Structure 1
Amino acid sequence: MIKGIQLLNRCILFFVLCASSLLGCVPASNNPATLTVIVNPPKNYNKDDTVHMVGSFNDWRFNGLNTHKLRYENGLLKTEIPVSEAPIYFTFVKNKDWQHMPASDTGKSLCTYMHLPNPGQTELKLEIPAWKTDTSNQIPIHTTVGNIQHFPDFDMPQLARKGSISVYLPPSYDQNSEKRYPVLYMLDGQNIFDEFTSYSNEWKVDEILEDLVAKNELEELIVVAIPNGERRRSEYNPWNFKETNNELSIGEGEKTITFIKQSLKPFIDSQFRTQPQTENTGIIGSSLGGLLALYAGIEHHDTFGFVGGFSLALDFKDMNDELVLFKAIKEKSHIRGSKFYFDIGLIEYGDYGRIDMLKALLLSKGVREENVKLVKDDLGRHCELDWSKRFPSAIRWLTSAS
C-alpha cells in the first residue's frame, strides 16, 4: 500500500513538473528521421493490453495527436519516434494507467529511461522485465555492507506511528572506543542502504561511505535512515498545500522534524558516540524529502548545521496558488546558520529558473555564498539511481569546513 502511494505520488510529481515547464522538457529535433524502438515485453504480456511510450519527445502524453502506441510484432513491441539532437527521456505505460509502469523482476520501479543522441543509430532495443503492478515471484536480495544497526518498530509519537530506523556506523566505530562522529539523518530511509527494502533503486549510501573513507576522501560519520509512511505527502510537507484536486491538505512536516529533534536525536546521541553539536548534525532528503530537509535548515538551524535537498520538490502551492517554499523564504527577515546543498536535473523542470531563484532568495536573506552549493545536472533524472551518483560530491562538500 505504502509503495503504491509513493509510486502514484512520484509519477504525478515528475510528469506534472515536465508538462508544466517547457513543452516536453527537451524539445524534439526538426530532423524528420525516426528511431525504431524495439521492446521485449514482460513474459506475461497480454496482447490485449495497450502499451504507450511517453517522454520528452511527446510531452509525456498517451492521448492526442502525438501519441506512440506500441504495436505487437512477433513477440516484440515496436514504435517509431523522432530522432533528436538532445537526450530523450521516456517510459512506458500500460493501459493508459500511470500505476502500470516498468519494474524490475523483483517488483522495484525502474528509473526513467534515457537515450543519448547517437548519429546513425536507427534502432533502440529495450526490455520491460515486469510491470509495477505485477505480483513478483522473485524476492529482492539484501545489499547492505558494513555495520548497520536496526531498530524496528521505533516509536514516532509526533506522527502517531512506528517505523524501522536503520543506523550506519563507520568502519572505525568498533575499533576506536574514544572516537565520536558527526551524524547525518536521511529521509525516505527505506531507500538508503538496502535494495530489499527500497522502493526503486537504493542510494547505496553504505557502499559509498565505505569507499570514500577507504580512499581517505571523507571523514567518517554516522548515518540514520528514517522511513517514510503512508502519509508521506503530508508528513514531508512543512506547509499546508493545495492538492491536485484543488482541496487543502495540512502539512505535517514540522511534526516530522520535531520527531527527529525531540525523540530520535536524543536516542541516537544516547546510544552511539556522536558529535551532537549543530555543526556536526545534518539532514538530507530527495524530492519532497528534499523540501523538508531545506525547511529544517531554514527553521531549525539550531539543530541542523548542514542540509541537502536532492531534486527537491519546488512546485507545491498554497490555496492562493503561491509556491509555498518561495513564499516562506520571502517572509523570513533573515536566514542563518546552515550550509545548504541542493540539486536538480534539467528534465525535472525543463529549465533551471526555479532552482536559480531559490539560491538567489537564500542569498538575499543573509546566507553566505560559500554556504550554498547548487548543482545542475543536465542528464539528471528523478530517481535514486541519479541521486546516488551525486551523493559523494554532496556529502564531501557538506561535511567540509566552511
Structure 2
Amino acid sequence: MKKIYFLLLVSSMAFAQVTLKITGLPTTTPANATIYMAGTVNTWNPVDPNYIMQPDGSGNLQIVIPQGTGTVSYKFTRGSWPTVEGNATGGFLPDRTFTFTAAPQTINLTIQSWEDLGTGASGTAASNVQILSNSFGIPQLSTTRKIWLYLPPDYATSTKHYPVLYMEDGQNLFDNVTSFSGEWQVDETLNTLFSQGNYGAIVVGIDNGGGERLNEYSPWVNAQYGGGHGDEYAAFLANTLKPYIDANYRTRPEAAMNAVIGSSMGAIISTYAACEYPNAFRKVGNLSPAYWFALSDMNAYINALSPSVLQNHRMYFVCGTNESTSMVPDVNTVKNNLMGKGMTAANTITEFDPAGTHSESFWRTKFGAVYVWLFQNENMLATTSSTYESPKIMQTLSGKIYVEGIPSATDFEIFNMLGKKIKTITLSNGMYEMPDELSKGIYILKSKNDEIESIKLVRN
C-alpha cells in the first residue's frame, strides 16, 4: 500500500505548473498592447483569449500554464504572427521551450523585439525608421525578405504624398547593428535635408538574400559567380512591393517619382529594373556599379530596347576611379548605350571620384547628392500623375507587353502573319504577360480603333 501511495505522489509531482513571467519589453511595444502566448499547448493560436499575459501587480506580465508533461514550445505575439517577437536585432527568433518538472517553476523572460516594429534598442537607426516586415513575401522567388521603411519626419502630421526610393541591400542603409561594414546613414541624411527644407521622401530598403545576393541582383548568369534570377527580383519590385507600398502609404505612384538605388551588384539590378519596368521607375542611382559581372549581356539587353524608351529617365552614376581597371570604362559604355535609347545628357550625370572606394563609407558620402539630383526640379506638390506626350506600346526583351500613355482602357487585336485575327485583348497602362493562347511565332498587335501605331509581337 505504501508503495502505491509513493508512486501516486511522484506522478502528481511530475505534473507541476509553470509560470511564465515577462520582465522586460522592447521600447517599441505599443501602449496597452495585449500580449499572447502561442505554442504547442494551444495549437499555436497567436490570439488565444485563454493565453493572454496578465499583470502580476509588480510591473510584470505573467501566465500560469497548468500542470502537464513533456516539453512545450512557444512564443509571444501581439495577436498575430506578423507581430511575433523577434531576436535582439529584430530578426527571426527560434521557438522558446520549457519542460515540466516535478516542482513548480517560474521562468523570467525578456522580449527583445517585435518583428514588425524592430528592436527599439541601441542601434543607429533613427526613430522614423521601422521594420515593415521581417518576412515580406517574394512570390516570384518563393521566398521572403526583411523590408525596412523610412517615413519623412512630417509623415504623421501632414497629408503630403511623397516620392519613393527603393533601395537594395537594406541591412546596410540605416543601422550599424545590421550592416555589413558600416551603414549608409540614409535616415540621418534625409532627416538633415528635411530640416534644411527638402520636401522629403519615403525609403523602402530591401535586405539582400545573403548567399542568393548575386543570383538575385543579376538577370544574367556569370559562369563563375552565378546570377540569373534578377528578372524575378525586378518583377517583385515592380509588381509586388511597389503596388503594396502605393496602396498602404501616401506615395506619388507615377514612375517619375520612383527611384531604384543600389551599389555594386545592387546597381546592376537597379539599372535593369528601371529599363524593364519604365512605367514603374524612372530614377536610378548607380553607385560603383559592378557591370563587369554581366557586361556583354547588359549591353545586348540595352541595345535591344525600343528607341526612346528611356527619354524620360534620369540616372546618376558615381564610382571611384581606382576601384578597378574596368570600372570607369564599363560605366561609360553602359551610360552611352542607355543614352542611345533616349536618355538625354541633361538627365544623366557621371561622377568619377579619385578618392572613391568600393565601400559603404564611400556610398554614404554620395547618397545625399544622388537623391537631391535625381529629384531636383520635380513638382513635389502635384496631386496627379504626369501625362505623356504620346502612347507607347512595345514588347520588352523578356517578352512582356508594355503600355504607357493610354488615357483609358483600349481594345487591341492580335493577328498572325497570315492576317487572321487570333484574339482581342483590353490593355491599360502597365506591363502584361503574353496571352497563353499564342504559340511560338510572330504576330501583329493592333489597336481596334487604329489610333495607336501597331507593333510586332514575338512569342518565343
Report whether the alignment pairs 1:241 with 2:217. no
Corresponding position: 1:346 with 2:321: yes
Tell me what 1:155 maps to: 137
- Give the match's secondary structure for 1:152: strand
Higher relative contact order (CA 8 A, sep 6+): 1
Q: Is the 8 A contact 1:190 1:228 kept in 2?
A: yes
1:326 aligns to 2:299 (yes or no): yes
Q: After the TM superposition, which residues 74-85 of structure 1 pair with which residues of structure 2 at under 5 Å, given as runs?
A: none
Unaligned 5+ segments in structure 1 are: 1-139
Q: 1:381 to 1:148 in 2, by over 3 A?
A: same
1:228 to 201, 208, 212: 208
| Aligned match for 1:206, one of 187, 199, 208 | 187
TM-score (norm 2): 0.53
Per-residue CA distance 1:241-260 (angstroms, 9 max, x = gap): 3215xxxx451111111111
Task: Choose from 250, 270, 273 the match for 1:273.
Answer: 250
Counterpart of 1:34 in structure 2 is: none
Q: Give the structure 2 partner of residue 371 of structure 1.
A: 347
Where does residue 167 of structure 1 map in the other structure? 149
Tell me the distance in 1 between the aligned counterparts of 2:230 and 2:212: 11
**Distance in structure 2 (CA, Å) of the matches to 1:359 and 1:235:** 22
What's the CA shift for 1:366? 1.8
Q: For residue 351 of structure 2, what is the amino acid of its counterpart?
A: V
Q: 1:310 aligns with which of 281, 287, 309?
A: 287
Paired residue for 1:194?
Answer: 175
Name the CA distance, whole Å, in 1 between partners of 2:340 and 2:249.
38
Instruction: Supply the distance in 2 between the matched residues of 1:250 and 1:202 (Cα, whole angstroms).
Output: 25
8 Å CA contact 2:168–2:261 kept in 1: the answer is yes
Per-residue deviation, 1:350: 2.9
In the TM superposition, residue 353 of structure 1 has moved relative to its aligned partner by: 2.1
Structure 1 contact 311–345 (Cα < 8 Å) conserved: yes
Q: Is the 8 A contact 1:242 1:316 kept in 2?
A: no
- Which of 363, 366, 369 aligns to 1:387? It is 363
**How many percent of aligned residue pairs carry the same amino acid?**
36
Q: Residue 315 of structure 1 aligns to a residue in which SS?
A: helix
Distance in 1 of aligned mates of 2:167 and 2:237: 11
* Pairing 1:299–2:280 present: no
Q: How many equivalent pairs are there?
A: 253
Q: Counterpart of 2:291 in 1: which secondary structure? A: coil
Between the aligned partners of 1:296 and 1:219, the Cα distance in structure 2 is 25
| 1:310–1:344 contact (8 Å) kept in structure 2 | yes
Q: How far 1:141 moved relative to its partner?
A: 4.7
AA matched with 1:349:
S
CA–CA separation in structure 2 for the residues paired with 1:165 and 1:173: 19
TM (normalized to structure 1)? Answer: 0.60
Distance in 2 between residues matched to 1:144 and 1:383, nearest whole Å: 19
Please state if 1:254 is matched with 2:236: no
Q: Cα gap change, 1:380/1:141 in structure 2, threshold over 3 Å: closer, same or farther?
A: farther
Q: Greater Rg, structure 1 or structure 2?
A: 2
Q: Which has the higher strand share?
A: 2
Give the distance between the partners of 2:252 and 2:342, measured in 1 at CA.
Answer: 27
Match of 1:288 in 2: 265
Cα distance per residue 1:206-255 (max 9 Å; x no partner): 00000011112x320100000111211110002233215xxxx4511111
Task: Give, in whole Å, the separation in 2 of the partners of 1:243 and 1:157.
Answer: 27
In 2, the alpha carbon distance for the partners of 1:364 and 1:325 equals 14
User: How many angstroms does 1:277 deviate by?
Assistant: 1.1
Q: Work out the CA distance in 1 between the residues paired with 2:341 and 2:258.
A: 22
Tell me the C-alpha RMSD between the 2 structures: 1.7
